[in-house]
Amino acid sequence: MHRISKLACLAIAFSGTAFAETKVDSTPALIDVPTYKNSDQPMPRFAVDASWPTLPETWLLGQTSGLSVDKYDHIWILQRPNSLGGLDKGLVADPPTAVCCEPAPHIIRFKPDGTVDKAWGGPSHAPDIDGVNQWPVNVHGLYVDSKDSVWIAGNGKDDHVVLNFTFDGEFLNAIGKRGDTRGNMDTSTLGNPSDIYHDPMHDEVVISDGYINARLASFATDNRQATHILGAYGNQPTGPVREGDFDQSQAAQPQQQGVDVENPLFGNIVHCVNQASDGLIYVCDRRNNRVQIFKRGVDGEIAFAENLVVRGETGGLGTATDVAFSPDEKYLYVADMMNGRVWIYLRDSLTLLGSFGRNGRYPGQFTWLHSVDTDSHGNIYTTEVNTGRRVQKFSFLGVY
């Protein structure tokens, strides 16, 4: 059997390439997921597809921190090969210590049927600036834009950068750079950015800059300078930045100011950003258990619109980690890390209809639920970090 060796830092494009896979029945293995209703109104329903995706038989995913569905309904994930331990990687030990496994590449694009279409990633894809390679130590957010380019962020030591690539992993440009951060009001640097959205109408990259800094920042793509810098409620982000480097152990530690769903400042993990077609921008203030909603005006200005509390009594990891929309944007989906659920809202009124999922490790359950996105058919995809380390597909069953 042909062995695929040390792929974590290699660019690979799959176009009819044969590689070893475990043969399984192609019929989707749909399993009901725990569903909870909070309203008498009908709500979208889903079943987890336990047969999705299909990886080469030697590949192993690490913490899967990024997720995006492109306009062709291909599903992209961003994962952390460096989160795997030595016993996970016996195939690539020297000498090999096991018949499996090896780290999958950082970035994988799946076809809708769950087979691998493209895979690449690692320092060889990023430039060196002042002798420092710009590939993040710990990759975090992923966004695939309408112009067929890929954006990633990082939240590890010195990872103050957002990188932009072609579909095949060719470097295009960057916002910020590794090792350079200057606080919430700086217009050219970042502080451990968590997530990205590219606004094609205004040609701006909107970033939740939220593991060292605590702000929403929008950058012009031509000169990569900040055009908008906002804190909670649209105020200036006057709160403190994180002292020192972020590490994952801090994710579960209480923030100094406690949980406050009405906090005038963002908490210490501003975790996601997404924008709907009507110009509403959704920002996850994870440690304050809320989504702050902003409105993009016709003049391009960004102003605060509404505060959505997501299980405000929750402690620990916090709740709001990511948001996504149904294809018609009628429904808003909010991923909740601590409670292990995807909450379902009517987007116009923010009426909570219900949720699905629970904490756990079986299909349809979540361990450190991190990201959520949808395809054009209404199917939902999720990813998990820490020891979750996977991507799941939830097939849309209808609204009832």
Determine the pLDDT at residue 132. Answer: 98
258-274 pLDDT, tens digit each: 899 999 999 999 999 99
| CA dist., res. 182 & res. 167, Å (int) | 31
Q: Domains of the chain, with CATH numbers?
A: 31-399 (2.120.10.30)
The model's pLDDT over 330-365, given as tens digits with 9 standing for 90+, comes to 999 999 999 999 999 999 999 999 999 999 999 999
Give 75's pLDDT tier (boundaries 50, 70, 90). very high
- Taking CB atoms within 8 Å and a gap of at least 24, the contacts of 24-29 are 24/51, 24/54, 25/51, 26/51, 26/113, 27/51, 28/52, 28/395
> How many of the other CB atoms lie within 10 Å of CB of 17?
9
Each residue's pLDDT tens digit, 118-152: 999 999 999 999 999 999 999 999 999 999 999 99
Cβ–Cβ under 8 Å, residues 295 and 280: yes
- Whether the per-residue pLDDT at 15 is higher than 60: the answer is no
- Mean pLDDT, residues 150-155: 98
Q: What pLDDT was estimated at residue 239?
A: 81
Whole-number pLDDT of residue 346? 98
Does residue 78 surpass a pLDDT of 90? yes
For residue 243, the tally of other CB atoms under 10 A from its CB is 6
How sure is the predictor about 26, in pLDDT bands with cuts at 50, 70 and 90? low
285-301: pLDDT as tens digits = 999 999 999 999 989 99
Residue 19, C-beta contacts closer than 8 angstroms, at least 6 positions apart: 2, 4, 56
Q: Is 212 left (phi over 0), alpha (psi -120 to 50) or beta?
A: alpha
The mean of the pLDDT values for the chain is 93
Percent of the chain past pLDDT 70, that is, above it, reads 93
Work out the pLDDT band at 246, boundaries 50, 70, 90.
confident
What is the reported pLDDT for 39? 93
> What are the phi and psi torsion angles at 244 (to 5°)?
80, -175
Structure tokens at 2: 């042909």
Of 111-115, 236-240, 247-251, the one with minimum mean pLDDT is 247-251
pLDDT at 10: 40
> What is the tens place of the pLDDT at every residue in 27-68?
678 999 989 999 999 999 999 999 999 999 999 999 999 999
Classify strands 102-103 and 59-60 as parallel, antiparallel or unpaired. parallel
Contact 275, 197 (CB under 8 A): yes
